[in-house]
Amino acid sequence: MATIVPLNTIDSALIEEVLDRAFGSDRHARTAYRIREGTDWLPALSFAALDDDDYLTGTIQLWPVALTDPQGRAHPMVMVGPVAVLPERQQEGFGKALMLAALDTLDRQAALPQVLIGDADYYGRFFGFSSEPTQGWHCPGPFARDRLLVRCANPAVLPADGMLGPWLRD
């Protein structure tokens, strides 16, 4: 059984350790990091999973990003991830519990569209993400088109073209 707690109750060194173990220490070069560069994760939407012995098993962080369309208009979105579960604790339901905690919190607040780079088999099957609306989107780095996924209550509002990047407010 997972206990889900706000991520800001967890020591930041422990969070980094989980991320290194799940993604490798070269994770900072990934395109997902460039999309959210210069932003901080959103404390109200970021969570940690603890096991029955209160050991940290996984984390999820959500970030403020935007898709800037060809007319220069920024469409705010929420970037989901990294979702990270310790390798030896995967397939026990921690990933789903973390995703559901974040998405439930978002959905109660008339959610912005959510975007992520990840496996369509996992995020499509369990959480309704799709690569269909993102076919004309661009990222500030290499990415596999079928892994750029979005979830939105009304996909018709999504721009067909645009560049993803951080949503930086003054």
Contact between 81 and ligand COA per CB under 6 A: yes
Is the distance from CB of 136 to CB of 161 less than 8 angstroms? yes
Residue nearest to ligand COA according to CB distances in the complex: 95
Closest C-alpha to 39, from 72, 4, 76: 76
Q: How far, in Å, CA of 64 to CA of 68, rounded?
A: 13
Helix (H) or strand (E) holding 59: strand 56-68
What is the Cα–Cα distance from 168 to 84, expressed in whole angstroms?
A: 25
Residue 62 touching ligand COA (CB under 6 A): no
Q: Considering the complex, what minimum distance in angstroms separates the CB of residue 96 from ligand COA?
A: 3
For the bound state, the minimum distance from the C-beta of residue 114 to ligand COA, rounded and expressed in Å, comes to 12
Contact set for ligand COA, span 1-40 (CB under 6 A): 22-23
Minimum CB separation from ligand COA for residue 8, in Å?
20
Please say which residue, 3 or 157, places its beta carbon nearer to ligand COA. Answer: 3
- What value, to the nearest 5°, has the Cα angle with vertex 136 and ends 153 and 95? 50
CB contact at 8 A, 56 and 116: no
Nearest to 2 by CA among 80, 78, 122, 96: 96
CB of 24 to ligand COA, least distance (A): 9
**Of these, 48, 56, 95, 148, which contacts ligand COA (CB under 6 A)?**
95
> Does the protein bind ligand COA through residue 118 (CB under 6 A)?
yes
What residues line the site for ligand COA (CB under 6 A)? 22-23, 81-85, 90-96, 118-119, 121-122
